[in-house]
Chains A and B, each alone.
Chain A
Amino acid sequence: MSMRLPAPYGTRIDRSKSLNFRFENKSFTGLAGDTIASALMASGAWVLSRSFKYHRPRAAMTMAAQEANTLVQVGSDPNVPADVFRLRDGLEASAQNVNGSLDWDFDAILDRLGRFMPVGFYYRTFFGPGRNAWLKVWEPLIRGKAGLGKVDVALPEQRYEKVNLFYDVLVVGAGPAGLSAALEAAQAGARVLIVDDNPELGGSLTYARFDDGPEATAALLRDLIAQVRAASNIDVLTDAVANGWYADNWIPVVTATRLYKVRAREVILGTGSFDQPHPFRNNDLPGIVMGSAAQRMMRHYAVRPGQRAVVFAGNRDGYRVALDLVEAGVELAALVDPRPTQRHGALAAALAAKGVRIILGGTILEAEGTSGNKHLRAVRIGASGGKAERIACDLLTVSCAYTPAYQLALQAGARLNYDDTSAQFTIANLPAHMTLAGSVAGAFALPTVLAGGRRAGAAAAEALGLSSRPVDVPADDEQALSSIALPLLPHPKGRDFVDFDEDLQIKDIKGAVAAGYSELELVKRFSTVGMGPSQGRHSALATARIVAETTNRTVAAIGVTTSRPPFGPERLGVLAGIQKSRYRHTSLHHRHLAAGAQMTTAGAWWRPLYYGDTSTRAAAIAAEVKLVREQVGVLDVSTLGKIELHGPDAGRFLDRFCSMSYAKQPVGRVRYCLTLNEMGTVIDDGVAFRMAEDLYYVTATTGGVDRIYADMCWHNVEWGLDVDIHNVTSAYSAFNVTGPLARKALEAMGGLDVSPQAIAFLGGVTGTLAGCPVRVMRIGYSGELSFELHTPQSCGEALWDALMEAGQPFGLKPYGLEASRILRLEKGHIIIGQDTDAVSTADELGMGWALSMKKPFFIGKRSTELLRRQPARRRLVGFELPETVGEHAGTHPDESCLILKDGEAVGHVTSTVFSPTVGKWIGLAFVPATVAEHDPAIIIKARSGTSIDARIVPPHFYDPENKRQEI
Chain B
Amino acid sequence: MQAMAKRRTPLGLSYAPPNVPSPARLVPATSGGLDVTLRDLTACDRLGLKGRGASGWLSARGLALPQSNCRAAVSAHVDAVRLGSEDILLLPRSPEHPEGIQQLRADWQVATDVRKGFDALREETWAWFHIGGPDVFHLMSMTCPVDLGLERFLPGRVAQTRVAQMDCIVVRSDRAGGPGFDLFFDVTSSAFMRDSLTVLASAS
Could you tell me which A residues sit within 8 Å of B by CB distance? 159, 161-166, 257, 261, 263, 578, 580, 582-587, 589-590, 604-605, 644, 646-647, 722, 724, 726-728, 730-732, 750-751, 768, 770-772, 792-795, 797-799, 802
Contact = CB atoms under 8 A, between A and B. Distances in A.
Given A164-B145, A751-B2, A726 B164 contact: no
Contacts of B4: 771
Given A159-B204, A164-B144, A728-B121, A584 B6 contact: no
A770 B3 CA distance: 8
Given A161-B204, A647-B52, A792 B121 contact: yes
Contacts of A728: 121, 124-125
A794 B144 contact: no
A263 B186 CA distance: 28
Contact of A582 (B6, B12, B145, B192): B192
A617 to B, nearest CB: 26
Given A257-B204, A580-B199, A794-B8, A644 B188 contact: no
B188 A585 contact: yes
Given A731-B125, A792-B121, A794-B124, A724 B147 contact: no
B70 interface: no
Contact of A580 (B7, B118, B124, B164): B164
Given A728-B121, A730-B187, A731-B121, A164 B50 contact: no
B5 A585 contact: no
Nearest to A257: B204
Contacts of B200: 578
B196 to A, nearest CB: 5
A580 B196 contact: yes
B6 A726 contact: no
B191 A585 contact: yes
B2 A722 contact: no
Interface of B: 2-10, 12, 15, 43, 50-52, 86, 117-118, 120-121, 123-126, 138, 141-142, 144-147, 149, 152, 164-166, 186-192, 195-196, 199-200, 204
A163 B7 contact: no
Contact of B50 (A165, A584, A726, A798): A726
Given A584-B186, A726-B120, A161 B2 contact: no
B112 to A, nearest CB: 14
Contacts of A772: 5
Q: Which of B4, B138, B188, B189 has the most CB of A within 10 A?
A: B188
Contacts of A263: 147
Contact of B51 (A159, A162, A646, A802): A646
B7 A794 contact: yes
Nearest to B43: A794
Given A159-B204, A164-B147, A792-B121, A586 B188 contact: yes
B51 A726 contact: yes
Nearest to B195: A580
A251 to B, nearest CB: 14
A468 B2 CA distance: 73
Contact of A726 (B2, B118, B166): B118
Given A580-B164, A794-B15, A164 B142 contact: yes
B149 A166 contact: yes
Contacts of B186: 584, 730
Contacts of A797: 6, 8
B192 A584 contact: yes
A795 B43 CA distance: 12
A732 B124 contact: yes
A589 B3 CA distance: 24
A794 B192 CA distance: 17
B141 A164 contact: yes
B142 A163 contact: yes
